[in-house]
Amino acid sequence: MNDTNLKTRKKFRISPPATALIIALVLFLLSGLLPNGFNDFSSAIRQGMNILRLASFIAIIGAGQTLVIISGSEGIDLSAGSLVSVGALITYILINGNNNLILPVLLLVIVTGAFVGLLNGLGIMYLKISPFVMTLGMAGVVQGAVILVTKGYYDGKVADIMTQIIARDLIPDVPGMIFVWILIGGLMTILLERTKYGKQLFAIGVNRMTARLSGVRVTRMVVLTYVIAGAMAAFAGFLLVGYTQNAGPNLGNQYLFPSIIAVAIGGTQMSGGKGSYFGTIAGAIVIQLITSLLTTMQLPQALQQIIFGSLLLGILVIYGRDKSLRA
């Protein structure tokens, strides 16, 4: 009887990504009840698409976080927020309204993010600095470098094509950013589920020693993962400029906590070895809906950061208790 009950529970267990989507649906319906909520189907579609557009920035930064967290050994990237700011500033200042400079600047942004990610990976694997300390320190270095180079002054202009693709609808009621997100989501899913890199990433997340004995070049894999994470964060800054039409040294800070929480809510195991980008997408939608509700309630940005920080701590406490019980 007990075995039958256990099998039944396992059979009807809802996956974390599905749970996150259910939570997102409930939050979306609740948002419709607020004074500024939707009152008909067309307005619900518009509001839903806007939520997805805003969630896409969190999820793109969360793509890199997903990879480093899956890699295990307390993997995390706290330099992501600073890299978003750097990517945004490079884009805003250098493009300066010139459509012909979009591709060269995009390449520069990705290379810059990848270089910072490379430094993170080398520090973690060769200097044996913990991911938390290494990426937090790098965030400070990047932030300081931005202030030193710009001297607090920056002037530029967003290219018209970026505005049309990212900030506006490509087809009625469907923002162009949604198509960019679908492309990235597809590439991330292929990377994690259909490539040798993805299989080895999950292997080192479960047990690095076993993976190394199996022939996986663990050091190279981890360094590459932080390179990808850095590139993704800077790329998110490039995209964000097209939406905000502006940039600043602190633009990316507000996305750091949400990008990590989205990964955790989506079911990626904080100890590594288990997770999916689909879960991160679902988590990002939940986070954006919470943000929208808090904004509608007219809570200041600082208080929102406190709430997200507390939410992250709560998730880590729950994870720590579960880990202790399994041990």
The residue behind tokens 């993704």 is: 232
Q: Taking the model in full, what pTM does it have?
A: 0.86
- Residue 226 is predicted with a pLDDT of 96
Quick one: pLDDT band at residue 325, thresholds 50, 70, 90? very low
- 174 DSSP β-pair partners: 171
Percent of the chain scoring above 70 in pLDDT: 89
Residue 2: pLDDT band with limits 50, 70, 90 = low
pLDDT band at 169 (very low <50, low <70, confident <90, very high): confident
Note the pLDDT of residue 170.
Answer: 76
Instruction: List, for residues 208-219, the tens digit of each pLDDT value.
Output: 999 999 889 999
Q: How far apart are CA 27 and CA 202, in angstroms?
A: 32
Winning range, highest mean pLDDT, from 45-54, 174-183, 194-203, 310-319: 194-203
| Sequence-ordered alpha helix ranges (H) in 39-79 | 41-70
Q: Which structure tokens are listed for 32?
A: 């419709």
pLDDT tens for each residue of 28-41 = 877 776 666 666 67
Closest by CA position to 286, among listed 305, 316, 304, 265: 265
Would you say residue 11 has pLDDT above 70?
A: no
Helix or strand holding residue 174 (H, E): strand 174-175
Count of Cβ atoms closer than 10 Å to residue 240 Cβ? 26
Residue type, 222: V
Name the band, by pLDDT with cuts 50, 70 and 90, for residue 234: very high
User: What pLDDT score does 158 carry?
Assistant: 84
CB 83 within 8 A of CB 252: yes
Is 60 within 8 Å of 232 (Cβ atoms)? yes
Token pair 């590139």 is found at: 231
Q: Taking CA 166 as the corner, what is the angle to CA 160 and CA 172, rounded to the nearest 5 degrees? A: 105
Lowest mean pLDDT among 17-21, 289-293, 297-301: 297-301
pLDDT tens-digit series, residues 113-167: 999 999 999 999 999 999 999 999 999 999 888 888 877 777 788 888 888 888 7
pLDDT at 247: 84
Closest CA to 242 of 67, 60, 82, 113: 60
Mean pLDDT across the stretch 319-324? Answer: 53
pLDDT in tens, 219-233: 999 999 999 999 999
